[in-house]
Amino acid sequence: MNKLLKRFKEVTSPVLGRYFPDFEIKSAKGCYLTATDGKKYLDFSSGIATTVVGHCHPKVVAAAVAQVKKLIHICIGVAIYEPYVKLCEELRKIVPIKDAQPFLCQSGSEAVESAIKLAKYTTKKPGIICFKGCFHGRTLGALSLTTSKMKYRDGYEPLLPEVYVLDWDLAEVEETICEHDIAGVIIEPILGEGGYIEAPAKVLKGLRRLCTKYKVLLIFDEVQTCFGHTGNWFASQALEITPDILTMAKGLASGFPLGACVASSEIMKKWSVGSHGGTYGGNPVCCAASIATIEVIKKEKLLKNTQKLGAYLKKKLIGLKGEFPIIKEVRGMGLMLGVDFKDSAVVKKILTYCLKKQLVLISTGADGTVIRFVPALNVHKKQIDTALSIFAEALKHV
Ligand SMILES: Cc1ncc(COP(=O)(O)O)c(C=O)c1O
Per-residue pLDDT tens over the stretch 124-134: 999 999 999 99
Q: How far apart are CA 144 and CA 165, in angstroms?
A: 9
Percent of the chain with pLDDT over 90: 99
Percent of the chain with pLDDT over 70: 100
Residue 372 has a pLDDT of 98
Which of 16, 197, 224 for a ligand 1 pocket mutation test, highest count of atoms within 8 Å of Cβ?
224
Alpha-helix runs per DSSP H in the chain:
3-11, 46-49, 58-70, 82-94, 108-123, 140-143, 170-179, 201-214, 235-239, 265-268, 284-299, 302-323, 344-356, 381-397
Q: Pick the closest to residue 361 from 392, 382, 326 (CA basis).
A: 392
Q: How far apart are CA 352 and CA 283, in angstroms?
A: 37
Neighbouring CB atoms inside 10 A of 379's CB total 26
Q: What is the CA radius of gyration of the chain?
A: 21
Q: Looking at ligand 1, which residue's alpha carbon is closest to its atom 7? A: 108
Residue 218: Cβ-neighbour burial (10 angstroms; 0-12, 13-18, 19+): buried
Q: Is 135 in the pocket of ligand 1 (CB under 6 A)?
A: yes
Q: What is the pLDDT of residues 182-218, one digit of tens each?
A: 999 999 999 999 999 999 999 999 999 999 999 999 9
- In angstroms, the Cα distances linking 213 to 174, 198, 284 are 10, 24, 40
Is the CB of residue 95 less than 8 Å from the CB of residue 234?
A: yes
pLDDT of 8 strictly over 80:
yes
Is the CB of residue 61 less than 8 Å from the CB of residue 29?
A: no
**Confidence band (pLDDT; 50, 70, 90) for 302?**
very high
Q: Which residues contact 57 (CB under 8 A, 6 or more apart)?
A: 30, 254, 292, 293, 296, 378
Q: What is the pLDDT of residues 9-59, one digit of tens each?
A: 999 999 999 999 999 999 999 999 999 999 999 999 999 999 999 999 999
Residue 235 has a pLDDT of 97
Residue 341 has a pLDDT of 98
pLDDT of 1 strictly over 90:
no
- Measured in angstroms, how far is the CA atom of residue 138 from the centroid of ligand 1? 8
Q: Which atom of ligand 1 is nearest to the CA of 250?
A: 10
**How much is the pTM?**
0.98
- In angstroms, the Cα distances linking 158 to 86, 153, 161 are 41, 9, 8
Q: Looking at ligand 1, which residue's alpha carbon is closest to its atom 3? A: 136
Q: Looking at ligand 1, which residue's alpha carbon is closest to its atom 10? A: 108
Q: What is the pLDDT of residues 327-368, one digit of tens each?
A: 999 999 999 999 999 999 999 999 999 999 999 999 999 999
Burial pattern 272-291, b for ≥16 Cβ within 10 A else e, equals eeeebebebbbbbbbbbbbb
* CA-based torsion, 110, 112, 115, 121: positive or negative: negative
Residue 248 has a pLDDT of 98
- In angstroms, the Cα distances linking 357 to 21, 207, 347 are 16, 44, 15
Q: Is 232 in the pocket of ligand 1 (CB under 6 A)?
A: no
- Measured in angstroms, how far is the CA atom of residue 130 from the centroid of ligand 1? 15
- Measured in angstroms, how far is the CA atom of residue 137 from the centroid of ligand 1? 5
Q: What is the pLDDT of residues 225-276, one digit of tens each?
A: 999 999 999 999 999 999 999 999 999 999 999 999 999 999 999 999 999 9
**Confidence band (pLDDT; 50, 70, 90) for 112?**
very high
Residue 121 has a pLDDT of 98
**Confidence band (pLDDT; 50, 70, 90) for 2?**
confident
Q: How far apart are CA 397 and CA 81, in angstroms?
A: 55
- Measured in angstroms, how far is the CA atom of residue 48 from the centroid of ligand 1? 10
Q: Which atom of ligand 1 is nearest to the CA of 225?
A: 1
Is the CB of residue 83 less than 8 Å from the CB of residue 148?
A: no
> Which contacts (CB < 8 Å, 24+ apart) does range 209-215 have?
210/170, 210/173, 210/174, 210/177, 210/185, 211/185, 211/244, 214/174, 214/177, 214/178, 214/182, 215/123
Give the side-chain half-sphere CA count within 13 A for 206. 12
The domains found in the chain, sorted by start residue, are: 3-53+301-397 (3.90.1150.10), 58-299 (3.40.640.10)
Which of 104, 109, 140 for a ligand 1 pocket mutation test, highest count of atoms within 8 Å of Cβ?
109
